[in-house]
Each structure stands twice: as C-alpha cells, then as structure tokens.
Structure 1
Amino acid sequence: MGDTTRQWIYRIVPARPGMPADPTPEEVALAQAHFAYLVELKERGILVLAGRTQEDDPVGIAIFDAPDEPVARALMDADPAIAGGLFLATLHPYSVAVARDSLS
C-alpha cells in the first residue's frame, strides 16, 4: 500500500475563557500568526478549509490533508497559536463525505 493522503481535523478552543472578546496584544499577535499559517497551508494545497463558530466562546476547526498521524500532528503543532498556547487543540482523523462541488 503506497503513501496515501488522508484528511484530518484539528479542533481548537481558546485557552483563556473570554479571550476572543478581550484579547491581549500578545494574543492578537498569535491570532494573526495563526491566520497567516492557515493561509500558507492553503497555498501549499494542504488546507481544505478552516473557520470558527460565531459565539462568545468559539470553537475552531481546520480540515487538512496529511499522509499519516505524525505528519498531521506536526502540522497542527506548528500552528503558532497552538505552539504559543493561545488555543488548545485536539487532532482527529476525518473524511469529508459530502461537499459542494468547489470543495471536492
């Protein structure tokens, strides 16, 4: 069996309750670096999609391609907001079952 690309999802939540409504300058910088990292993954053809719920205590997700769990975990851990402690993250194997044509 050859090296196949699988999908993964990482789920993030703010490490500090209330952070999205009242971020410190350091948290703002980490959030900006997080966004730039996701854009970089998209440009490299790795990121499928990313976003967050629009609530006071949001939950974010990033769906991306990686061949195996060590690579997926390394990609998640390299997110500056995770590495910097802004977000707590969990990694899960994932598979898009149904999507609009632009996402397939």
Structure 2
Amino acid sequence: MELQQFIYVLRLLPEYLVESNWTAETNEVVGRHFESLKILLEQDTVIMAGRTTTMDDSSFGIVVFKAESEVEAEKLMLSDPAVAGGVMTAELHPFRVALSNLR
C-alpha cells in the first residue's frame, strides 16, 4: 500500500507571538516538538518541515509527511508535542508533493 501525503499547518497561539510570554516550559515543549520531527524525518515519515521567519500573526510552520490514512495523519498531527502541549494549533490537509529538489 502506497502511503498518502499530508501537510499540517502550525500556528503559535497569539500570546506566544510575543517573546516575553515564552516560559521555560514553552521552550521545553517547542524543543520536544523539534526533536519529535527529527525522529519522524529519520523514520522517513516527515518529508520536510519548516516555518516562516516572521514572528507576527502571519507566521506559520508546515510539516509535510506520509501516513497510511487521514485518520493516522490526524493522530500524528495531534501527537505533535507543540499541539498536544497547547503552544500551537494545527490544521491538517491532504497534500501531494508535485516538484521537489529535496534528496
């Protein structure tokens, strides 16, 4: 069975757009989020992940990944430490990489 591709779009909760609102706990949650994505990349689940370089209400991050089904994709998205930890919201979308120079 060929895996499907999905994308989830991450947005910081508005209070975290202000750097002074970040706590040690917020930093720890975001650190776990990054480490989790690195593991999923090593497991060939994540295709790519990244974020805008702005810190305003237009800021967002994306995770492009593979899953067996939309149900499995949603489980993966909701288990993201930043989502589960209440630092970011996430929206899931079916996706297909059409062109890439990633190796």
TM-score, scaled to structure 2: 0.90
Task: Determine which of 3, 6, 12 is the counterpart of 2:4.
Answer: 6
Q: Gaps (5+ residues) in structure 1?
A: none
Structure 1 or 2: larger helix share?
2
- Post-superposition offset of 1:16: 3.0
Q: Which residue of 2 aligns with 1:48?
A: 47
Structure 1 residues 51-94: Cα deviation after superposition (integer angstroms, max 9, x where no partner): 00000122000000001101100111111110011000000000
What is the distance in 1 between the residues matched to 2:13 and 2:62? 15
Aligned residue pairs, count: 100
Q: Superposition pairs for residues 75-90 of structure 1, below 5 Å?
A: 75-90=76-91
Q: Superposition pairs for residues 1-104 of structure 1, below 5 Å?
A: 3-19=1-17, 21-22=19-20, 23-57=22-56, 58-100=59-101, 102=103
Q: Gaps (5+ residues) in structure 2?
A: none
What is the distance in 2 between the residues matched to 1:13 and 1:101? 24
What is the distance in 2 between the residues matched to 1:36 and 1:101? 20
% identity of equivalent residues: 35
- Please state whether the residue corresponding to 2:19 is helix, strand or coil: coil
Paired amino acid for 2:6: W
TM-score, scaled to structure 1: 0.89
- Post-superposition offset of 1:20: 5.9
Give the RMSD, CA atoms, in angstroms: 1.4
CA contact (8 A) 1:9 1:63 kept: yes
